[in-house]
Structure 1
């Protein structure tokens, strides 16, 4: 088969590969929308449940921490069982978690919902990315760009839904439409996927995977770089609306800034994925992180609405260009027969570390200031870029 014939079979929008890419991407978009709704709704949630900034940050950390813990086992299970088994199971669980959010009467029940959301979300993305890699080889960068951009579409939906819902209803009502779409995606995957369901005991081989994974010096440095990035990303998306409000910006502008983060990301990610197919990813990744750090400096040290929004937009461009570039690079580096498990191990570690970002910003904002908290994130981005340049490209 020629290269042109292989590319023609890897259809991004039509055929079997296109349908499944669409389904898993819509699922990822609404999983992200549901989780990211918590950020713009946070002031209303805090007021209703009577909780502090630190407690709010911890709730977000629970969602992302549980999510992180599931990345390795979900990847390993999807390698040994089937992608469809994990994808459908994850969609069912996270739908139940969002329903728990909508009915939570206390902070403890909200935390319980956060655990279920984390479990459901944790089962989904690694097998979804494994499925994308199964379907695409020559156009893998483009496919990853489109798939990861769907998460940014979820962020846009979250910002818009939060603004509308708070104007006409309560924060609890925002999660119900998300559940309906996720159940529709679940049904689509059940009907379209050629894979069957496979439920059996699987040896997770945690020690073997970590030994193989951590034995490679380049992967250890890339883990550090990605962890610093994940810490920054989680901190920013968890508290950006609250931070902009603390700077004296109106709530409409704060939500617009949150939406801009994902609008720009949805545009940039496919472009960055395609660019990463043509230029060295080890040079592109640190460059976009440096751009993000410079733009975040503008956001921190300015209080003018237009300047802050412009800074958020450029920050988004740098921050969101990173994942498709580095994830494609990582998938190229892992053996094909353990791709899902290796990616899951990497994701468990860097997302787990990153999940602490929300608690960090919440506590720093409560006891120091949000300006100080976000200044620390600038340092994380610069250090991550430096690690890739000096160690991660070997």
Structure 2
């Protein structure tokens, strides 16, 4: 262990349980704020489609731009967290997301809307890699802690659409989106008050590492990390397809009102908020892969139900099962962290998260384009097929004892 690692480890171990819990709550609140601002955009898509008189493919492109920019920010934010500490980056992510959210709310045209979503993605992209690295330093049981972090995002996925749908119906989607800015204020204050400023994990980190092909290749070509990245891409594509277009799908394909679709959309993420910490503990106690396999199976079954089973029963059952299925983030993040050392977590996880999220960001534009040209059953049928592929990879690793 290097001197920096030792110093960081000593500082983390000196943080008492009470302060650790406050830090977990504050960082999770930050995730609630920045992720909620992005998830809300998917819930107001039906309103934006009508207001700008545009297509699912066009909005899918805008949302892919947001998520792709968010992904590209993961790597530099992880490297900077290694060098200067996680806390400043966590705070910058919360504030940056708030600025981007305000710009989206003020957008007069779909072109400006698309540009503003890129700003939102860039600001929010500073948050998650440093937040994950910070909690991984504070907690030995990473699956549980990281599932609380991702679960807070799932709570945001329930609360923001449910409230935003009502606001959008009564006052317009701009007001609904703008309300997300207010949520960032207490999140930023909590970060300032309760998140400890640990010594940087690697203060000597050379920023040239961002463009060092040898270091990048060393991380990406490590078989267990490459395998986990493939799982993350498939799950992430599904998340993009659901978070961007589930509300529009419910309005167009199942015939519900936009406000009801927003509530159902929120219900998916509300159920996910309960399922994620549970699945994180399952992954800590039994197996990361078993936890991911269960969630992937449920998500596929939920989407298939929404597409194939008619009437209220299909909607309710599909929403519940899909919500329970979107519980893979914690186990997948922990799977990455298990295979990275303390010194490389900021750098390595930031790089890997950039790669898998950038590739998964295509879920928005692909789903929108397929829905526009071939219909919703084809669009979400593709998602189910990708989840089946993920399940096949998990099975192959276990059956053939690949040790990935």
Question: TM-score with structure 1 length normalisation?
Answer: 0.91
Aligned: 1:30 with 2:30:
no
Matches within 5 A, 1:124-203: 124-137=127-140, 139-195=141-197, 202-203=207-208
Deviation at 1:340, TM superposition (A): 1.4
Runs of 4 or more consecutive aligned structure 1 residues displaced over 4 Å after TM superposition: 6-10, 196-201
Matches within 5 A, 1:319-334: 320-334=326-340
Aligned: 1:343 with 2:346:
no
CA RMSD of aligned residues (A): 2.3
Closer, same or farther: CA 369–95 of 1 in aligned 2, 3 Å: same
Task: State the number of aligned residues.
Answer: 384
- The residue number in structure 2 matching 1:366 is 372
Matches within 5 A, 1:280-359: 280-318=287-325, 320-359=326-365
Contact 2:283/2:290, CA 8 A, preserved across alignment: no
* SS state at 1:365 partner: helix
Cα distance in 2 between the residues matched to 1:291 and 1:29: 24
Closer, same or farther: CA 236–228 of 1 in aligned 2, 3 Å: same
- The residue number in structure 2 matching 1:86 is 89
Cα distance in 1 between the residues matched to 2:243 and 2:288: 25
Deviation at 1:374, TM superposition (A): 0.2
Contact 1:59/1:111, CA 8 A, preserved across alignment: yes
Cα distance in 2 between the residues matched to 1:7 and 1:82: 16
- The residue number in structure 1 matching 2:248 is 242
* SS state at 1:116 partner: helix
- The residue number in structure 1 matching 2:3 is none
Deviation at 1:60, TM superposition (A): 0.7
Contact 2:13/2:138, CA 8 A, preserved across alignment: no
Aligned: 1:121 with 2:124:
yes
Deviation at 1:197, TM superposition (A): 10
Aligned: 1:270 with 2:277:
yes
Aligned: 1:279 with 2:290:
no
Contact 1:70/1:122, CA 8 A, preserved across alignment: yes
Alignment deviations for residues 256-275 of structure 1 (CA, whole Å, 9 cap, x no partner): 32122111111111111111
- The residue number in structure 2 matching 1:3 is none
Contact 2:106/2:174, CA 8 A, preserved across alignment: yes
- The residue number in structure 2 matching 1:18 is 21
- The residue number in structure 2 matching 1:218 is 224
Cα distance in 1 between the residues matched to 2:343 and 2:396: 30
Cα distance in 2 between the residues matched to 1:273 and 1:213: 25
Deviation at 1:390, TM superposition (A): 1.2
Aligned: 1:233 with 2:239:
yes
* SS state at 1:334 partner: coil
Deviation at 1:26, TM superposition (A): 0.9
Question: TM-score with structure 2 length normalisation?
Answer: 0.89
5+ residue gaps in structure 1? 1-5
